[in-house]
Amino acid sequence: MEYEEISEPEEAPIKTYIDDINNPNFIRIKNIENIPKKTIDIIKNDLALIPETHQKILKDYVKEIVVEKGRNSCYDREKRIMYISLNPEKGEVIHEFAHALETKLKLHKNFEYIRVLNNGLENIGIGDIIYDDETFNIPIYRLENSKFISEYQGRLYETDLNGKGRFDSKAGTLNTLCLGDYFSEGYKEFIINLQHLKLKDNELYKFIKEL
């Protein structure tokens, strides 16, 4: 009697840790095989918190995430690369993601965003600028306001994304668009501690919610 040969079922490919971090693969992580597991975990956990609608906005916009030893986390707007430090803190990746998001959406030209940014800062002037050389690893200029969820959110950069300086000496007015971490810090709080952002800055909370 002859028997029909029964073929063995094909084994499913083994899902690796690297496969897992890249699923969903909306931002490529460069040289992921050389990155410590602890760093990958932080990146993975932060990215997993990003709403799907925001993931889709940046899916083909941010080219890659690069992890570099000895480098502070930052977003390179020209190269569209997100640089992450080797030992990032919780929320650090979300902060840089927010910089990419605000760049893609051109919030510095968005009238509704500018309204939200200026809300509560109507009476702020040049005299309210604080020089802070103690709080962070580099000296910064910043503002204080009850709506800020962190001191870093009040950081004033030298220029805004339009290339304009932090104040108009002729008019004597402050350029609030130089608050370059207002959105990124607020967005991070929206993801990690939504109720706190809602309490501190309800206008920014509502703006992010509608993105």
- Domain count within the chain: 2
Amino acid at 110: N
Domain that holds residue 49: 32-105
Lowest-confidence range among 31-40, 141-150, 168-177? 168-177
Interval 109-131 mean pLDDT: 94
| Burial classification of residue 80, based on how many CB atoms lie within 10 Å of its CB (0-12 exposed, 13-18 middle, 19 or more buried) | middle
pLDDT at 61: 93
Q: What mean pLDDT is reported for the chain? A: 88
Using alpha carbons, select from 74, 71, 97 the residue that is nearest to residue 85: 71
The answer to whether residue 9 is domain-embedded is no
Amino acid at 151: E
Domain end (from 105, 128, 157): 105
* pLDDT above 50 for 208: yes
pLDDT at 125: 83
Question: Which residue is associated with the tokens 């029964």?
Answer: 6
- Residue 146 shares a structural domain with residue 172: yes
Query: CA torsion angle for 48, 55, 65, 87 (degrees, to 10)?
Result: -30
Interval 124-136 mean pLDDT: 89
The answer to whether residue 13 is domain-embedded is no
Distance separating alpha carbons of residues 89 and 48, to the nearest angstrom: 15
pLDDT at 26: 74
Domain end (from 79, 105, 131): 105
- Residue 101 shares a structural domain with residue 125: no
SS3 26: coil
Question: In the chain, what percentage of residues exceed pLDDT 70?
Answer: 88
Domain end (from 105, 138, 163): 105
- Residue 126 shares a structural domain with residue 200: yes
Strands 81-85 and 64-68: parallel
* pLDDT above 60 for 1: no
